[in-house]
Amino acid sequence: MVLVTGGSRGLGLVLARQLVKRGAHVGLLARDSLELARARRSISHVRSVLLLQADVADPAQVNHAVGVMIRHFGQLDVVVNNAGVIVSAPFDDTSASDFQALLDVHLFGTLNVTRAALPYLVRRDEARIINICSIGGKIGVPHLSAYCASKFAQAGLSMVMAEELREKGICVTTVYPGLMRTGSHVNAWFKGRHEQEFAAFALAGGLPGTSMGAERAARQILAASERGVAEAVIPFTVRQISRAAALAPGTTVAAMALANRALPPASSRSAKQGSELPLPPAVRTAVRLSERAADRNNER
């Protein structure tokens, strides 16, 4: 029995599909009931799927959702903390409320779900927690200041969880994926020069050379958890980047500074979602795999 947060779209939905194919019963937890309903229709063996409407940032809602899952399935073996929010903006256009909102989901959401699930996980043999962080939890990425700050915090929490919960028989795997073609550009939020930010983000996350398919990422994530590893940086190329950053942090900072110069300057603190913004035809063609993923993974 597996609980997947952020399970109504993107990577969470892809993970849920693979889990159901492996014979798991899955609780899909997300905020939007309509998205959850659409997600379930896209999964084979819908009787294996329970929809749980809750905001991971709200402990009371999380506790209620976990209780519903226990009453329905009778047990809980695995938790996948996958819920996430992306704000792409220059640092000057990123507000304190942006930092708080992302911390609420990535840090406190992981904390709330884990605390609610823990009493049931300790009853199971070989229980698992999978915390989906990001390579942005190891390397600071320009125009993702709030996202990276919250992912660094989530990664720190996850590392301590791995150390302490092992004594309770729970294996915690912290996952640091690179860019994935999940279709997330559609639901990400953008500030500054909105259309330029959106195009740059879509290109970085949608080109085959800079990103990996969500289905491949999901397979690697589940395999890492099955092996019981404490940390998984995927794919191989991102793992090498992470190692290089640890060995030569000054070089990494310089490289990120160069990348920053190619991005649009600060302009506006108003926020727009990707679904509200147009992609130039050339960019749309270049990221067609991400555009298809957005349709396939309930991102629209």
Going across the sheet that includes 189-190, the strands are 87-88, 189-190, 272-273
Catalytic residue (choose from 2, 28, 43, 147): 147
CB 200 within 8 A of CB 280: no
Q: Is 176 a catalytic residue?
A: no
| C-alpha to C-alpha distances, 289 to 97, 132, 182, 211, 213, nearest whole angstrom | 33, 22, 9, 10, 9
Residues 6+ apart with CB under 8 A from 101: 85, 87, 146
Question: Which among 261, 54, 270, 80 is positioned nearest to 177, based on CA atoms?
Answer: 80
User: Which residues participate in catalysis according to the annotation?
Assistant: 147
